[in-house]
Chain A
């Protein structure tokens, strides 16, 4: 693989169910991010990780959790999904040591619908 992959591509989920969105990158980037994108709103940061073993809360962390056991993987878990979590979720990564302002590279996204 090259770049960032996300799974699943799309999912319909019943409210109250637990769901994990997967994200894997092969660029050896230290920093990874989870965003949600809703119509009429900008990308909003849910959680981030500056390096393996560390995570931080973004703008909209409630209802979501993440882990960063290694450099490549950064799963996002919805412990008990609610309809307001219906959104398109993007995973991204960056190399903070690069000289281009730490451009973020995005995965293809997961379209999640919570009913």
Chain B
């Protein structure tokens, strides 16, 4: 079966750094997405990794290790507006997205 694992909830402090992990077991791999979803809203694209390594975009970075079936999203200089759910999704061998349940990130002042 196909499986994406993420922590259900994490708490961090404004201004700090947080790392959200994602491990996956899928039939094939054609890339990994991270999306952000604020409560009551639609998911929005954050990052895409298809090769091993770190991709940096401003305060957000995403890392991929295909051999370990592992990715993380790193958020720096946390702001209150970063309170949201973060969804990990893997593109499988049929080029369909398999979604994790998401990690709810709570930012405290």
Q: A residues engaging B (CB < 8 A)? A: 35, 40-45, 48, 58, 90, 96, 100-109
Count class of interface residues, chain B: 20 to 34
Contact A40 B101 (CB under 8 A): yes
On chain B, the residues within 8 Å of A40 by CB distance are 8, 101
Secondary structure of the A contact surface, majority rule: loop
Interface residues of B (CB under 8 A from A): 4, 8, 30-31, 33, 41-45, 48, 50, 87, 89, 91, 95-102
Say whether B99 contacts A58, CB under 8 Å.
no
With A and B bound together, what is the CA distance between A24 and B41 in angstroms? Answer: 17
Bound CA–CA A109/B98 (angstroms):
19
CB–CB A41/B96 < 8 A: no
* B96 x A48 contact (CB < 8 A): yes
